[in-house]
């Protein structure tokens, strides 16, 4: 990636300068508004701390959830500002708006090392607008907050696949740099795609084949083994002519899965047993059955122990592993063993010198929720969608704009 980085910006000097940073604080909240997984906030700390310690006046933008282009208290960044302040050991101001009078007044009052977090950037409909002029008008308002000698640091990897005002358009208006997080993520993905050590194993889970189709097609030609679990395995099992009971099924994708199984028979690996239950509930009694014996009135919620053994054997000698998507409903203890077992196999391969990447999203959440050691993996990504699109071979707007 031929872009300027945070090190370049710090070498140029940031003391007393307004620096606009795009972070990714799209963290999960419980019903009480408490952050349940602060992984993305923790990942943002190195860049923010380095800039603050060097005397920059920081204006930080981020989003949370999917507000419909207008303020919604449910998606306020207030919990993030509190958590971030505690972790940085300094007060983080939260503006009462995005680029309105409060944001402007607070930005003008910043002193060296201060940090101002703007309210949820998606409260402004221009952020996600398909109209270039609308996005540019928001970008110009953001630039006003940091002044003429400002700079832009892109550090929200989870959004670099989006052509949005705070990700893409601001980079066209200010000197731009990749933050520590973005630079690290891209370096890891380049290693996955350009200097892959073999055997190369890919583990894909999650609910829908349609969400992962492009990455399956792309990686099936590059990986030595591609393991399929999670809800999407049932569409593949149906493509083999098996009954999947009331399990999640994308009927419109069955023919596509059949073609994939025919084309990549030696690469694709499906479960051999499934943990089923009568309903999607944590207290629904689990039962393990063979893949060809799923009862009509039951749904699969995890892969079974024999599948874990087979997948672990495939992973045991892998030199490179990419994992995206849980093997089952890991949030329910009775249906978490598949995800935990496969994750432990990846950790074992990493311990033997393998290079492993957890592709963000639910996989990263599973690592933390299941109490697995984060340092057991070579890298845990903060951006599931961005990671997948990169591996599909797509151009990521938030990265390409940094190269210009």
> Which residues, 6+ apart, have CB-to-CB distance to 68 below 8 Å?
none
152 closest CA partner among 132, 176, 127? 176
Distance (Å) of CA 367 to CA 38, 158, 239 = 13, 18, 30
SS3 category, 250? coil
Nearest-10 Cα torsion for 362, 250, 342, 191: -70
Is the distance from CB of 237 to CB of 229 less than 8 angstroms? no
Tokens linked to 135: 């996005």
Distance CA 133, CA 287 (A): 56
Distance CA 189, CA 151 (A): 26
- How big is the chain by its Cα radius of gyration, in Å? 22
The residue with tokens 């033997």 is 352
Catalytic positions: 40, 208, 361, 385
Is the distance from CB of 354 to CB of 320 less than 8 angstroms? yes
């Amino acid at each position: 990636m031929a872009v300027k980085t945070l090190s370049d910006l710090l070498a140029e000097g940031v003391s007393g300068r307004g620096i606009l940073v795009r972070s990714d604080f799209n963290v999960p909240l419980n019903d009480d508004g408490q952050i349940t997984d602060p992984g993305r906030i923790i990942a943002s700390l190195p860049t923010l701390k380095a800039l603050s310690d060097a005397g920059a006046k920081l204006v930080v933008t981020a989003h949370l959830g999917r507000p419909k282009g207008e303020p919604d208290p449910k998606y306020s960044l207030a919990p993030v500002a509190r958590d971030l302040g505690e972790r940085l050991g300094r007060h983080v101001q939260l503006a009462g708006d995005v680029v309105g009078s409060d944001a402007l007044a607070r930005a003008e009052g910043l002193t060296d090392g201060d940090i101002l977090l703007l309210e949820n950037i998606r409260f402004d409909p221009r952020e996600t607008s398909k109209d270039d002029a609308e996005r540019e008008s928001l970008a110009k308002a953001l630039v006003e907050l940091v002044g003429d000698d400002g700079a832009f640091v892109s550090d929200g990897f989870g959004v670099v696949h989006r052509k949005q005002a705070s990700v893409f358009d601001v980079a066209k208006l200010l000197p731009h740099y990749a933050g520590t997080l973005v630079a690290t993520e891209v370096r890891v993905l380049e290693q996955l795609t350009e200097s892959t050590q073999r055997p190369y194993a890919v583990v894909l889970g999650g609910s829908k084949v349609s969400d992962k189709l492009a990455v399956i097609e792309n990686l099936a030609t590059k990986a030595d083994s591609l393991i399929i679990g999670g809800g999407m395995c049932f569409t593949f099992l149906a493509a083999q002519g098996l009954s999947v009971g009331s399990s999640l099924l994308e009927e419109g994708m069955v023919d596509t899965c059949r073609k994939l199984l025919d084309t990549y028979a030696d690469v694709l690996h499906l479960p051999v047993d499934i943990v089923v239950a009568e309903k999607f509930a944590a207290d629904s009694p689990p039962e393990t059955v063979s893949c060809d014996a799923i009862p009509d009135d039951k749904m699969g919620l995890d892969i079974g122990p024999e599948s874990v053994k087979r997948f672990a054997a495939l992973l045991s000698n892998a030199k490179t592993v990419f994992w995206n998507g849980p093997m089952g409903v890991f949030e329910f203890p009775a249906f978490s063993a598949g995800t935990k077992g496969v994750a432990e196999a990846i950790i074992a391969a990493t311990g033997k010198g393998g290079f492993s990447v957890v592709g963000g999203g639910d996989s990263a959440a599973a690592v933390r929720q299941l109490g697995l050691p984060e340092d057991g993996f070579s890298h845990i990504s903060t951006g599931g969608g961005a990671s997948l699109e990169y591996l599909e071979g797509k151009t990521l707007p938030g990265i390409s704009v940094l190269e210009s």
